[in-house]
Amino acid sequence: KNEVEQSPQNLTAQEGEFITINCSYSVGISALHWLQQHPGGGIVSLFMLSSGKKKHGRLIATINIQEKHSSLHITASHPRDSAVYICAFRQGAQKLVFGQGTRLTINP
């Protein structure tokens, strides 16, 4: 079993829909990262959170440390949000453990 599980693996939605991507992990962590990767491109760090909720524009990330669960929400989704969204946590001092990613497609 992977230490990080994401769901769904693939998600297709219509423009304007509210999107939720889930991340569950099996070990104690101090912080969780949400990352975005556009096709063929580099990775952008969206959030790093250790408790509660963070918001940036139309993106909201929440984490429940006790439940070992985090969610990424996108409000009023847009085709430019189409990307792979990855959750990850730091293991030890330097190593990131990545989820398998959620491939999101927003159709106009």
Partner 1 sequence: DTEVTQTPKHLVMGMTNKKSLKCEQHMGHRAMYWYKQKAKKPPELMFVYSYEKLSINESVPSRFSPECPNSSLLNLHLHALQPEDSALYLCASSQEGTVGYGYTFGSGTRLTVV
Which of 68, 83, 81 lies closest to 3, judged by CA?
68
Indicate whether 63 belongs to the interface with partner 1 (CB under 8 A): no
Among 3, 69, 82, 98, binds partner 1 (CB under 8 A): 98
**CB-nearer residue toward partner 1: 1 or 108:** 1
d(CA 60, CA 78): 15
Kindly give, in sequence order, each residue whose CB lies less than 8 Å from that of residue 80, ignoring residues fewer than 6 positions away: 106
For residue 88, give the DSSP letter: E
3-state secondary structure of 81: helix
Indicate whether 100 belongs to the interface with partner 1 (CB under 8 A): yes
Indicate whether 31 belongs to the interface with partner 1 (CB under 8 A): yes
Q: Are 101 and 6 in contact (CB under 8 A)?
A: yes
x/- site string to partner 1, residues 43 to 62, per CB under 8 A?
xxx--x-x------------
Q: What is the contact surface with partner 1 in residues (CB under 8 A)?
A: 30-31, 33, 35, 40-45, 48, 50, 86, 88, 90, 93-96, 98-101, 103
